[in-house]
Amino acid sequence: MPDEVTGLFGGVFNRGGVATGDMAWLQALLDAEAGLARALERAGLAPTGSGEAVTKAAVAADFSATEVAEVAQACELTGNPVPGLARVLTRRVPPFAASAVHKGATSQDIMDTAAMLLARQAIDATRRDLARAAASAARLAAGHRGTLMIGRTLLQQAVPVTFGLVAAGWLAGLDSALQGLNTIRAERLTVQLGGAAGTLASLAPSGPLVVPLLAAELGLATPPLPWHTERLRVIDVAVAMARVTAALGKIARDVTLLAQTEVGEASEGAGDNSKRLPSGGAPRRGGSSAMPNKNNPVASVAILGCSRQVPGLLATLVASAEQELQRAAGAWHAEWQPFSDILRLGGSAAAWGAELLDGLGIDPSRMAANLAATGGLPLAERVTGLLAESLGVAMAHDLVASAAAKAVSSGLPLRDVLLASAEAERAGITAEQVDAALDPAGYLGASDEFIDAALAVHERQAGK
- Burial grade of 224 (CB within 10 A; 0-12, 13-18, 19 or more): exposed
CA atoms of 383 and 401, how far apart (whole Å): 11
CA atoms of 130 and 247, how far apart (whole Å): 10
Residue 205: strand, helix, or coil:
coil
Annotated active-site residue in 42, 128, 284, 327: 327
Element (H, E) at 158: strand 156-162
Amino acid 355 reads: E
Q: Which residues contact 235 (CB under 8 A, 6 or more apart)?
A: 314, 317, 318, 321
413 dihedral zone (left: phi>0; alpha: psi -120 to 50; beta): beta
Buried b (16+ CB within 10 A) or exposed e, 352-369: bbbbbbebbebbeebbbe
CA atoms of 120 and 125, how far apart (whole Å): 9
Q: Report H helices in 43-155.
A: 50-57, 65-78, 82-92, 107-143
Q: How far is CA 263 from CA 162, 165, 298, 366, 447, in A?
A: 16, 18, 17, 7, 23
Q: What is the DSSP string of 380-399?
A: HHHHHHHHHHHH-HHHHHHH
Strands (E), 235-340: 266-267
Q: Are 400 and 384 in contact (CB under 8 A)?
A: yes
- 288 as an active site residue: the answer is yes
CA atoms of 287 and 295, how far apart (whole Å): 6
- Burial grade of 53 (CB within 10 A; 0-12, 13-18, 19 or more): buried
CA atoms of 86 and 71, how far apart (whole Å): 9
Q: Are 371 and 405 in contact (CB under 8 A)?
A: no
Annotated active-site residue in 91, 276, 288, 460: 288
- 267 as an active site residue: the answer is no
Catalytic residues: 288, 327
